[in-house]
């Protein structure tokens, strides 16, 4: 129960006692409930959440404009709502309409739940009266009123002061839990694609949540985005989350490690949205070794001489490799923690890889009914009060058709940990809030913020940036310029924003807002004053073999002859735009600039990138996804029929 709802019940005299505010509620309000676009009215000069010390309660009152609307069933709605919204994880509340977890009584779905509960209670009361009359005639006393309460909709049991004296009927127990009764914020995200982004937690907050795991065996699935891989990697994740180190190539190395008598959680890497890399599954499979090598370098010292057999590359949209991960989660059980930065696809990963037990629906229904009859499901509302030191929300009841987290391109959709049990008590999947990924969207207009996210595979044209020219992205959000003004740059922009090639002088004026941009301008006004250099990047990877002339490439491929000695070399690199995509950049230079002796100093060709505050840019070895597009273009060109002329 949210702090606001508890305060309302306290003022109404419905709750006998209030325990000190729990750390779970404090952490909930600390990083989830206050919008980044407006200052919190509860913030103090010491940045304390709610301005409260531990054990203090602040009283809330509903806004006057909302009091008239929520008078209908405001006290009764608490009984039918879940403890937390299953879509975003926020604690449910009925006081603050602009905050996550708010449930309005004006919504049709909420009114249906209230009406269903009222009808069930009336029917139960009528049956109880008939039963009392029969027992009274027979002279038998009824002691059924002292029986324990049973769970209602959402797996929650009402407080003892709110439980009616009559026992709820079976119809009330079988309320439609599969109905996606999410809060108003999630409803707006699903149906209207609008909501306010929320602050992100720190990785240390995630560590504190995992320390309270009720399971002996835990596994962390670190979700990475294929669009800007490996920029979404959490630095030093093994040490920060106290996870087991990667298995080395030494077969005698120990596999399991313990700390304070507890087994450390294992860690697996999942690269989501793999369909953004290529059109077919076979083409993406060919990049798996590249993914491991890049990840090994990104891990630094922790990645030296490790196997990295725990790397998965999936596509929730296409269903690639999701079955294998689903079976792995089902077999492992215990605590499955989904960790990653904002907008990397954690909720999509859960929807595609959650182990649904659809093969034994009848047995599952019997098991759920048995749990209800035996009253083994804890009182969630009382659990949140009896354990004030818990950071994790109460575990919901396992359901045959669980409500999965809301999928949205809005950063910070998940507010608080979302627990989803599976396997008849074997384990549960915990969706954690996304960590901070970058602030490039802060320099984009509100109506174009979603344009930064690559939602489908981009098939770009290869741009030629001649000497004296520069490449602009998004009307000046990113500028790429060759460090040597005599170099010609080839760039394939795998980004969802518009590329534009123009003269360097004009590009500088456009980026600094001294000249209006005639195309689609997504950059906010005033961003030009923050533009700075992100640095000069060396193109130090030789991709000459992938850029051979057609005749030479055909001879090398068909006849197997070695690549002849050429007077030039093609040097490449991938420039990463955080949370957006990548640019495959290539420059052709003379071969004599690269002597054969490795001890000689090599001057690689360079490019310079300019962005807001000189951030949000990275570099990696070239993934060469443009080769797939080039092969498709050549194949389509061969299929074209020749144009035949007829002479009359």
Residue 144 has pLDDT above 70, yes or no: no
Token output for 30: 């600390």
- Element housing 626 (H / E): helix 626-639
Question: Does 156 have pLDDT greater than 80?
Answer: no
Pairing of strands 489-494, 581-590: antiparallel
Residues 535 and 455 in one domain: yes
Tell whether 108 and 231 lie within a shared domain: no
Residues 70 and 113 in one domain: yes
Residue 603 clears pLDDT 50, i.e. is over it: yes
pLDDT-based confidence at 643, cuts 50/70/90? low
The DSSP letter of residue 302 is G
Matching residue, tokens 């990138």: 609
- Let me know: does 373 contact 343? Beta carbons within 8 Å: no
Dihedral sign (CA 59, 63, 64, 70) = negative
Mean pLDDT throughout 31-40?
34
pLDDT tens track for 398-436: 877 788 999 888 777 899 999 999 888 889 999 999 998
Confidence of residue 249 (pLDDT cuts 50, 70, 90): low
596: pLDDT confidence band, cut at 50, 70 and 90? low
Asked, for residue 187, whether it belongs to a domain, the answer is no
For the chain, give the number of residues: 648
Residues 6+ apart with CB under 8 A from 94: 4, 5, 8, 62, 70, 74, 77, 78, 81, 102, 103, 104, 105
Does residue 143 lie in a domain region?
A: yes
Span 8-33, mean pLDDT?
Answer: 34
CA-wise closest residue to 570 among 538, 541, 600, 592: 541
**Does one domain contain both 595 and 527?**
yes
CA 334, CA 214: separation in Å to the nearest integer?
9
424-452 in b/e form (b: 16+ CB < 10 A) is: eebbbbbbbbbbebbebbebbeeebbebb
pLDDT at residue 47, as a whole number: 32
Residue 624 near residue 543 (C-beta atoms within 8 A): yes
Same-domain pairing of 153 and 262: no
Q: How many domains does the chain have?
A: 3
Give me 279's structure tokens. Answer: 């059109």
Name, in order, each residue with C-beta under 8 angstroms of 627's C-beta and a sequence gap of 6 or more: 546
Cα 57 from Cα 54, distance rounded (Å): 9
pLDDT of residue 484: 93
Same-domain check for residues 167 and 214: no
Tell me the DSSP string of 153-206. GGG----TTTS-SSPPPHHHHT--TTS----HHHHHHHHT------PPPPHHHH
**Mean pLDDT (the chain, rounded):** 77
User: What's the token pair of residue 415?
Assistant: 């507010």
From residue 530, alpha-carbon distances to 267, 332, 337, 578, 581 in Å are: 39, 49, 38, 17, 22
Query: Are residues 324 and 413 both part of a single domain?
Result: yes
Distance CA 47, CA 59 (A): 19
pLDDT of residue 507: 95
pLDDT band at 642 (very low <50, low <70, confident <90, very high): low
User: Tell me: the pLDDT tens digits for 116-133?
Assistant: 777 777 787 888 788 778
DSSP label of 93: B
Average pLDDT, integer, range 239-256: 77
Q: Mean pLDDT highest for which of 121-125, 254-258, 261-265, 544-548?
A: 544-548
Residue 60: count of CB within 10 angstroms of its CB: 16
Asked whether residue 437 is assigned to any structural domain, the reply reads no
Which pTM value belongs to this model? 0.79
Q: Which residues constitute the domain of residue 104?
A: 3-173
Quote the pLDDT of residue 533.
Answer: 96
Report if residue 385 sits inside a domain: no
Q: For the ranges 21-35, 170-184, 195-209, 450-464, which has the lowest average pLDDT? A: 21-35
Which residue do the tokens 């890889």 mark?
Answer: 353
Burial 120-135 (b: 16+ CB within 10 A, else e): bbeebeeebeeeeeee
Euclidean distance between CA atoms 265 and 207, whole angstroms: 11
Contact of 355 with 326, CB cutoff 8 Å: yes
Same domain, 423 and 501: no
Nearest CA to 95 among 117, 64, 51?
64
- Is the domain of 533 the same as that of 609? yes
Extract the tokens encoding 278.
Answer: 């290529």
At residue 475, what are phi and psi to the nearest 5 degrees? 75, 15
Is residue 277 one of the residues assigned to a domain?
yes
Dihedrals phi, psi of 368, to nearest 5 degrees = -65, -40
For residue 438, tell me if it sits in a domain. Answer: no
Whether residues 146 and 212 share a domain: the answer is: no
Do 426 and 447 belong together in one domain?
no
Is position 387 within any domain? no
End-to-end Cα distance, the chain: 87
**Does residue 378 lie within any of the structural domains?**
no
26 phi and psi angles, rounded to 5 deg: -65, -45
Per-residue pLDDT band at 561 (split at 50, 70, 90): confident
Domain identity same for 229 and 279: yes
Mean pLDDT over 56-84 rounds to: 52
**Exposed, middle or buried by CB within 10 Å (0-12, 13-18, 19+), for 188?**
middle
CATH code where residue 284 lies:
3.40.50.300
């Amino acid at each position: 129960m949210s702090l606001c709802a508890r305060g309302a019940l306290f003022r109404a005299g419905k709750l006998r006692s209030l325990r000190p505010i729990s750390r779970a509620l404090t952490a909930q309000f600390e990083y989830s409930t206050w919008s980044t676009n407006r200052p919190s009215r509860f913030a103090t000069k010491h940045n304390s959440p709610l301005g409260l010390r531990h054990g203090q309660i602040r009283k809330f009152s509903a806004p006057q404009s909302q009091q008239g609307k929520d008078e209908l069933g405001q006290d009764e709605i608490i009984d039918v709502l879940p403890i937390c919204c299953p879509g975003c994880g926020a604690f449910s509340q009925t006081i603050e309409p602009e905050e996550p977890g708010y449930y309005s009584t004006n919504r049709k779905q909420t009114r249906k739940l209230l009406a269903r509960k009222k009808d069930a209670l009336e029917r139960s009361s009528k049956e109880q009266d008939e039963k009392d009359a029969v027992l009274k005639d027979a002279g038998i006393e009824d002691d059924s009123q002292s029986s324990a309460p049973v769970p209602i909709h959402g797996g929650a049991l009402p407080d003892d002061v709110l439980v009616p004296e009559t026992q709820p009927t079976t119809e009330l127990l079988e309320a439609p839990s599969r109905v996606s009764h999410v809060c108003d914020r999630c409803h707006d995200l699903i149906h209207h694609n609008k909501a306010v982004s929320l602050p992100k937690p720190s990785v240390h907050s995630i560590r504190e949540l995992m320390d309270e795991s009720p399971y002996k065996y835990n596994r962390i699935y670190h979700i990475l985005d294929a669009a800007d891989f490996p920029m979404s990697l959490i630095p030093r994740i093994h040490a920060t989350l106290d996870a087991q180190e990667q298995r080395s190539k030494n077969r005698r190395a120990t596999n399991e490690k313990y700390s304070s008598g507890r087994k450390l959680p294992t860690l697996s890497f999942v690269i989501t949205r793999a369909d953004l890399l290529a059109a077919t599954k076979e083409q993406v499979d060919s990049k798996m070794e590249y993914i491991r090598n890049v990840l090994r370098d990104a891990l630094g010292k922790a990645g030296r001489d490790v196997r990295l057999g725990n790397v998965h590359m999936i596509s929730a949209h296409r269903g690639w490799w999701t079955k294998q991960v689903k079976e792995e989660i089902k077999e492992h059980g215990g605590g499955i923690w989904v960790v990653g930065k904002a907008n990397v696809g954690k909720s999509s990963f859960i929807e595609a890889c959650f182990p649904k037990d659809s093969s034994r629906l009848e047995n599952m229904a019997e098991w759920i009914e048995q749990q209800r009859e035996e009253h083994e499901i804890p009182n969630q509302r009382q659990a949140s009060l009896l354990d004030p030191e818990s950071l994790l929300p109460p575990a919901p009841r396992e359901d045959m058709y669980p409500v999965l987290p809301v999928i949205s391109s809005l950063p910070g959709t998940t507010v608080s940990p979302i627990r989803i049990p599976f396997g008849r008590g074997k384990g549960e999947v915990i969706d954690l809030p996304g960590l901070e990924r970058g602030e490039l969207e802060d320099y984009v207009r509100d109506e174009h913020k979603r344009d930064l996210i690559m939602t489908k595979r981009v098939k770009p044209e290869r741009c030629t940036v001649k000497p004296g020219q520069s490449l602009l992205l998004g009307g000046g959000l990113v500028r790429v310029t060759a460090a040597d003004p005599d170099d010609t740059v080839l760039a394939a922009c795998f980004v969802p924003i518009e590329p534009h090639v123009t003269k360097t002088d004009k590009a500088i004026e456009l980026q600094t807002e001294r000249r209006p941009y005639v195309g689609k301008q997504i950059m906010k006004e005033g961003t030009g004053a923050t533009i700075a250099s992100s640095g000069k990047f060396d193109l130090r990877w030789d991709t000459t073999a992938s850029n051979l002339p057609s005749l030479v490439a055909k001879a090398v491929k068909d006849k197997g002859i070695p690549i002849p000695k050429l007077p030039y070399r093609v040097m490449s690199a991938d420039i990463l735009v955080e949370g957006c995509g990548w640019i495959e950049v290539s420059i052709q230079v003379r071969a004599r600039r690269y002597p054969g002796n490795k001890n000689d100093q090599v001057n690689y060709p360079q490019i310079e990138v300019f962005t807001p505050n000189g951030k949000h840019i990275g570099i990696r070895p070239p993934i060469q996804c443009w080769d797939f597009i080039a092969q498709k273009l050549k194949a389509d060109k061969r299929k074209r029929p020749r144009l035949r002329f007829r002479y009359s």
